[in-house]
Amino acid sequence: MFIPVTQDETKKLGWDSLDIIFVTGDAYIDSPFTGVALLGKFLIKHGFRVAIIPQPDWKSSKDITRLGEPRLFWGVSAGAVDSMVANYTATGKKRKTDDYTPGGINNRRPDRATIVYTNLIRQHFKKTAPIVLGGIEASLRRIAHYDYWTDTVRRSVLPDAKADYLLYGMAEYSTLKLAQAIKEGRTIEDIRGLCYISGEKPSDGIELPSYQEVKEDKNAFTRMFMAFYDNTDPITAKKLFQRYDNRYLVITPPPALLTTEEIDSIYELEFENRPHPIYKNQGKIRAMDTIRFSVTTHRGCYGECNFCAISMHQGRTVQSRSQESILREIKRYTTHPDFKGIINDVGGATANMYKVECKKKIKTGICRKKRCIFPSSCSGLPIDHGLQIQLLKKIRNIPGIRKVFVASGLRYDMILDDTKNGKEYLAEIVKHHVSGQLKIAPEHIDNSILRLMGKPSIDRLIEFKTAFDKLSAEAGKKQFLTYYFIAAHPGCSEKHMRKLKSFAAEKLHINPKQIQIFTPTPSTISTLMYYTGCNPFTGEKIIVEKSIKGKEKQKNLLLSSARNFSKSKNLQVQKKISYYKN
């Protein structure tokens, strides 16, 4: 069944009122990859009446009022992507397309959608049920944060939107507990993963520098952010609070880690795996190409790349589903009328972290002074791809399955560090799970920049490329690696991009195409570096390219053809690349 989006649908279900209404910046696709669909199905399973208003017209009342008011709360999300990232490129240009909008035209998601939707509700329902913010935009803006689009430090989105509560991270059980507490009239302040505003200073927890302090002082901003970052682990985190004038933003510790049974129960909810019928004549939703008939095997990422927000949203501990649950989901796909025998992806934030996690971390929490796989893999992390190999083989053997792709992205350093099953895992990927090209994300090749990014050294990339090329040849397949790079990351200069260009020609034998300019999104270490011009781990000052012209030049240095690049002052590099191209 689809979650209702109209009054007619609620009436057909026999519902004379609604408990919860979700408002989202995405089209409604009934899939476990759609946040409001997952939450909605989860809450319905637990007895609540839920509806969705997808992509409401924010300039009128027609959409936001069509279902009336919920009894318990409104749930507001900007969608699967921060609305400012969805609407603008790193150089500030308006994006013309939107993968989560029917027809692909970017005209249905407002800037700062979380705030706009909350104001829309307040405008048309004066004294309404509580408004609860969620999704990645709210999650990463839950504290005072640097906002790239205005080049200022903004308040937490909770007081900015004038909402009542904010639930951060992967919030199924937090949302359920909040719904139950509101229904039963109980206090909500002990719910984990919750942000709320208090008129009184909390008696326990860690007080962060106030909003006024962090707005005026970059050193105070750094202290705030690092304390915030250090308190995102469910086991070790403390309550945090931050003063805003005469009120306090309170952030409770993250929700407890899910058991295998709990995460299985979430992903085994029944989904239609297609867009709601209201979009039948509105054009294709391009996100379907990626998420339809893909499977989430786990959550979280212990990679902690400094520019990535996944660990801040999903967590730094990997929580995996059981093989039985994954196989049951895929078997259901084989009965879907639109299924053609192809599984588009089997993975998570990083595909090959499934069933790999430190037992000590699960019991006592993250290590404060070291990371799991940076600058190298910790000896306490049991990297073994054996269970992943077993899972992929079982999926291939399901009747009706023709092809299984692993498209989530791989940590190639982990494959190399697995002395037991790493080579066999890569062989499996090469033989069975690549569609001609395997996408990897080295991001750069200069080790000084890689350290600032939190990425493995360039030696690991060369080692992996050698292994991949060898196994592809042995399998008799013409396959290649596609590399993703970042330009204008904090610390990166034109000199570093020229070095990357030369390396790509000499060692990788490519003219790079997949390059993005670094976007400072809220709540990442790299954004902290961008704003402060300082490495927070060492105190070292670093260069930061902030001009649009300079950023574009760094990207174009890598995109340029060998002929254009030959104009470089480095004549030796000129000759090598000209030879390669000719």
Residues 58 and 191 in one domain: yes
Domain of 565, CATH number, reads: 3.30.750.200
Q: Which phi and psi (to 5°) does residue 376 adopt?
A: -150, 170
- Residue-range definition of the domain harbouring residue 341: 293-434
Asked if residue 155 belongs to a domain, the reply is yes
Q: By 3-state DSSP, what share of the chain in percent is helix, strand and coil, each rounded to 5?
A: 40, 15, 45
Both structure tokens of 472? 């592809």
Binding residues: 301, 305, 308
Q: Reply yes or no on whether the pLDDT at 343 is more than 70.
A: yes
Residues 418 and 474 in one domain: no
Asked if residue 370 belongs to a domain, the reply is yes
Sheet holding 194-198, edge to edge: 50-54, 20-24, 73-77, 131-134, 165-167, 194-198, 247-251, 240-244, 206-207
Residues 468 and 420 in one domain: no
Residues 352 and 481 in one domain: no
Give the end of a domain, one of 409, 434, 459. 434
Could you tell me which residues are beta bridge partners of residue 319? 299
Average pLDDT over residues 455-481: 95
Asked if residue 570 belongs to a domain, the reply is yes
* Chain centre distance of CA 464: 25
Binding residues for [4Fe-4S] cluster: 301, 305, 308
Classify residue 488 as left (phi > 0), alpha (psi -120 to 50) or beta: left
Separation between Cα atoms, residue 96 and residue 107, nearest integer Å: 8
Model pLDDT, residue 561: 58
Separation between Cα atoms, residue 287 and residue 10, nearest integer Å: 27
Sheet holding 514-517, edge to edge: 437-443, 480-487, 514-517
Give the end of a domain, one of 418, 434, 450. 434
Q: Which phi and psi (to 5°) does residue 270 adopt?
A: -85, 130
Q: Reply yes or no on whether the pLDDT at 574 is more than 70.
A: no
Share of the chain above pLDDT 70, in %: 96
Give the end of a domain, one of 144, 176, 197. 197
Residues 418 and 447 in one domain: no
Q: Reply yes or no on whether the pLDDT at 563 is more than 50.
A: no
Asked if residue 80 belongs to a domain, the reply is yes
Domain of 421, CATH number, reads: 3.30.750.210
Could you tell me which residues are beta bridge partners of residue 532? none
Q: What is the DSSP letter of 95?
A: P
Residues 333 and 477 in one domain: no
Separation between Cα atoms, residue 221 and residue 212, nearest integer Å: 10
Average pLDDT over residues 524-548: 97
pTM: 0.94
Residues 426 and 546 in one domain: no
Residues 33 and 54 in one domain: yes
Which tens digits make up the pLDDT trace of 33-87? 999 999 999 999 999 999 999 999 999 999 999 999 999 999 999 999 999 999 9
Mean pLDDT, the chain, rounded, equals 94
Residues 353 and 388 in one domain: yes
Q: Reply yes or no on whether the pLDDT at 572 is more than 70.
A: no
Share of the chain above pLDDT 90, in %: 93
Q: Which phi and psi (to 5°) does residue 392 adopt?
A: -60, -40
Asked if residue 236 belongs to a domain, the reply is no
Both structure tokens of 450? 């890689």
Separation between Cα atoms, residue 464 and residue 155, nearest integer Å: 43
Asked if residue 256 belongs to a domain, the reply is no
Asked if residue 57 belongs to a domain, the reply is yes
How many structural domains are present in the chain?
3
The answer to whether residues 83 and 51 touch, using CB atoms and an 8 Å cutoff, is no
Asked if residue 266 belongs to a domain, the reply is no
Which tens digits make up the pLDDT trace of 129-148? 999 999 999 999 999 999 99
Separation between Cα atoms, residue 372 and residue 315, nearest integer Å: 13
Residues 353 and 462 in one domain: no
Residues 303 and 413 in one domain: yes
Model pLDDT, residue 560: 80
Residues 316 and 392 in one domain: yes
Q: Reply yes or no on whether the pLDDT at 368 is more than 90.
A: no
Domain of 172, CATH number, reads: 3.40.50.280
Neighbour count for residue 369 (Cβ, 10 Å) = 4
